[in-house]
Amino acid sequence: MSEIITIGEPMVMFLADTKEHLSDVEHFTRLIAGAELNVAMGLRRLGHTVTYISQVGDDPFGQYVKKYLENENIDARFVKTYKEAATGFQFKNRTDEGDPEVLYFRKGAAASKITKDILEEISFSDAKVLHITGIFPALSETTLETIFKAIEKAHEQGMLVTFDPNPRPVLWESQEKMIRVTNELAFKSDIVLPGFREGKLFTGKDTKEEIADFYLKQGVKKVIIKMGTTGAYSREKLENGQVKEFECPSFEVPVVDTVGAGDGFAAGVISATLEDLDDIKILERGNAIGGIQVMNLSDNEGLPTFEELDNFLKNYKRKVS
């Protein structure tokens, strides 16, 4: 089995070739998207082995997803083909900077039909990390059951479970349910990776320290908070009761497209954790890969190799607070 296992929803993305409202764009470039898939790609490019679990439709988009994963050398043996639903897709426009407009076509897609039975044939032995987000469990009751089962299997094998809440309110029947279920998943995880604003939403707390403590008190081992343009913060409660906390500023980069930055951050954190780097280096790598990703238009094309990461660290400076 690979070092890392992740479960998610792959989507074919059509990126506008021109900077116009989507209603006016005539030509698009076909790419691929999906939060967990982005993390898988980021880790694979850094030399880690990754198994991606999902389901696609019996259609050309599903075939494209499988070929893309194979070309990235991601283990796609457990990306199943489902004949009764289509592969999800999205349209995304170009912006000069910041958040782009994204139009999703995912309701009832093949990935939402996954059940926990998909895990029966998959051995988690020898894997080190299970990475999950709050997106896939929001797709349906069966995907939520699948995630809970995956967490159970991961803990049985002594794996590290990393969780990025990645809220998508439109996918949930209510904000109350989104908060409740997301926190249930977080409490079962070892490392939780919220953004600062979403952390405030999920915990009702106002400071990064309070957000982190909310999860640490529930048994989470470490909380790493993405602070946006100011960097990242980590907090960990040791067995002796002492608290370790670290902050690392972000890098000064031109922002082209913010989508995928959090996924790049997660890939950086997971890879650095697997390499047993110290806390500051873990945050630095997360910030660096997130910074590289916002300089690129697609959700994952900018994810770096180690050589590209080293070049970035040599050429871009951290922000001065």
Helices (H), the chain: 35-45, 60-71, 141-156, 175-187, 196-203, 208-216, 261-274, 279-294, 306-315
Q: Are 150 and 130 in contact (CB under 8 A)?
A: yes
Question: SS3 helix, strand, coil % of the chain, rounded to 5?
Answer: 40, 20, 40
Long-range contacts of 15-19 (CB under 8 A, 24+ apart): 15/92, 15/94, 15/297, 15/298, 16/91, 16/92, 16/93, 16/94, 17/94, 18/94, 19/93, 19/94, 19/95, 19/96
Which one from 190, 263, 279, 299 is the annotated catalytic residue?
Answer: 263
Residue whose C-alpha is closest to residue 39's, from 305, 313, 298, 265: 265
CA angle, 43 then 190 then 124, to 5°? 60
- CB-based contacts of 112, cutoff 8 Å, min separation 6: 9, 85, 106, 139, 140, 142, 143
Catalytic status, residue 75: no
Residue 306: how many other CB atoms lie within 10 Å: 11
Catalytic residue annotation: 263
